[in-house]
């Protein structure tokens, strides 16, 4: 389902969420967050000629022991050199890992989907190279901690 259908905010309509049903009781299905993704047309609209697209893929553990794979996209204003792209990836890695260590699964997913982590990366990485936009383009849960599954 799209984030727009949950929040009724049209600005969030390019974000797709995937949930997994973990338990069904009578007419209620209990779900847990499984993955999120950005719409393909939205991603294509971000990249322009003469700019660089810097992708970073990171496996992180949250405070409560859940393992997630987070894929981040940064677009620059002008073409960046390879060394500048490496520096941008390093900043992305530091910000995502520090956020994951501070937050539990629910808090991390909320900040990731709503763009708080992307804005933190943007503010930290714009000192390295001028950026146009930073987005968490995709994420997926690799391992869920048992306490997350047992929550009602």
Number of domains in the chain: 1
Q: What Cα–Cα distance (Å) separates residue 64 from each residue in 34, 92, 94? A: 16, 21, 19
pLDDT of residue 32: 85
Beta-carbon contacts of 104 under 8 Å, excluding residues fewer than 6 positions away, are 62, 63, 64
pLDDT of residue 1: 82
Closest CA to 152 of 98, 106, 108, 90: 106
Prediction pTM value: 0.86
How many alpha carbons lie under 13 Å from residue 67 in its C-beta half-sphere?
3
Q: Which of 68, 62, 87, 64 is nearest to 76 (CA)?
A: 87
- CATH code, domain carrying 86: 3.30.479.30
Which residues span the domain enclosing 43? 3-150
Which pLDDT value is given to residue 79?
Answer: 93
- Indicate if the alpha-carbon torsion angle 59, 62, 66, 72 is positive or negative: negative
Report the alpha-carbon angle 77-9-63, nearest 5: 75
> In the prediction, which pLDDT does 12 show?
81
Q: Could you read off the pLDDT tens digit of each residue along the chain, which spans 152 residues?
A: 888 888 888 888 888 988 888 888 888 888 888 999 998 988 888 888 999 999 999 999 998 888 999 999 999 999 999 999 999 999 999 999 999 999 998 899 889 888 899 999 999 998 999 999 999 999 999 888 776 666 65
């Amino acid at each position: 389902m799209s984030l727009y259908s949950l929040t009724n905010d049209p600005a969030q309509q390019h974000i797709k969420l995937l949930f997994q049903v973990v338990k069904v009781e009578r007419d209620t299905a209990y779900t847990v967050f499984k993955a999120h993704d950005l719409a393909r047309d939205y991603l294509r609209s971000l990249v322009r000629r003469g700019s660089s697209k810097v992708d970073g893929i990171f496996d992180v553990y949250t405070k409560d022991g859940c393992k997630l794979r987070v894929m981040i996209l940064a677009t620059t204003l002008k073409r960046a050199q390879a060394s500048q792209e490496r520096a941008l990836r390093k900043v992305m890695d530091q910000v995502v890992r520090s956020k994951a260590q501070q937050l539990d699964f629910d808090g991390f997913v909320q900040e990731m989907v709503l763009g708080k982590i992307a804005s933190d990366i943007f503010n930290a990485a714009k000192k390295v190279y001028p950026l146009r936009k930073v987005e968490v383009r995709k994420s997926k849960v690799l391992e869920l901690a048992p306490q997350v599954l047992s929550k009602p």
